[in-house]
Structure 1
């Protein structure tokens, strides 16, 4: 089993948080005027969409390498639908525009990346999330 961990801490003088994993950082905040948010960073829904799309982009590269093909261009658009109280993600949709350097059909690459994408597969299968007071 592989495990990863990230940390988040408040940014002094704001109500935003900075998250990091290793040497990489990201700012998490609410939209300006919402619950003290200043719009300094991504909100949770945006981070969810970025995780879905970002993981898929990485997996496309892994699969392309294993198939011996090169990606010429790649654009991925992700939308997440939210509803309810409390607000939850009810669905996500991803559109992939991919062209390969050799001009071949990218459909097999996209199909294989879809089958191996950790984030979308984890979400579609459901994962337990525990929250406890440290």
Structure 2
């Protein structure tokens, strides 16, 4: 699966698109009021990526188990230090509303924690490389 995320920013506008396998979507993120960047920072988006991944994977894995999920609430927290420092103390909480037994819900949560792709990407520590713009 090929994924691309693009931001085109100027003082007048902030255009954000994501694309997975040719399915392009626009995300509304306002620019900073004075221009020069997004009003949402990268750390917030990183934590949102973790929350979104886990939420989506809960529904995917629940469907495979024939579990009906009413709602999923994922909250990710963590800290960033000084400029250039990586995040630390990242953790998340999950609440699921379902008619399934609590033991099945907990089993689902623990399983999804092992297969959530964004979580595993950060846990593994993937190389990020800068490509030259031509």
**TM-score category, normalised to shorter length:** 0.7 to 0.9
Cα pair 1:28 1:44 within 8 Å, conserved: no
* Unmatched segments (≥5 aa) in structure 2: none
Once the two structures are TM-superposed, the CA of residue 85 in structure 1 deviates from its matched residue by: 3.0
Aligned to 2:71: 73
Structure 2: distance between partners of 1:32 and 1:11: 11
Structure 1: distance between partners of 2:88 and 2:30: 22
Is 1:23–2:21 an aligned residue pair? no
Structure 2: distance between partners of 1:36 and 1:10: 7
* Unmatched segments (≥5 aa) in structure 1: none
Runs of 4+ in 1 over 6 A off after TM superposition: none
Q: What TM-score, normalized by structure 1, do the two folds share?
A: 0.80
CA RMSD of aligned residues (A): 2.4
Question: Counterparts of 1:1-134 in structure 2 under 5 Å?
Answer: 2-11=1-10, 13-14=12-13, 16-21=14-19, 22-27=23-28, 32=33, 36-37=36-37, 39=39, 42-105=40-103, 106-134=105-133
Cα pair 1:82 1:90 within 8 Å, conserved: yes
Structure 2: distance between partners of 1:73 and 1:85: 37
- Show CA shifts across 1:41-83 (max 9, x none): x210110011000000011011101111111222111112111
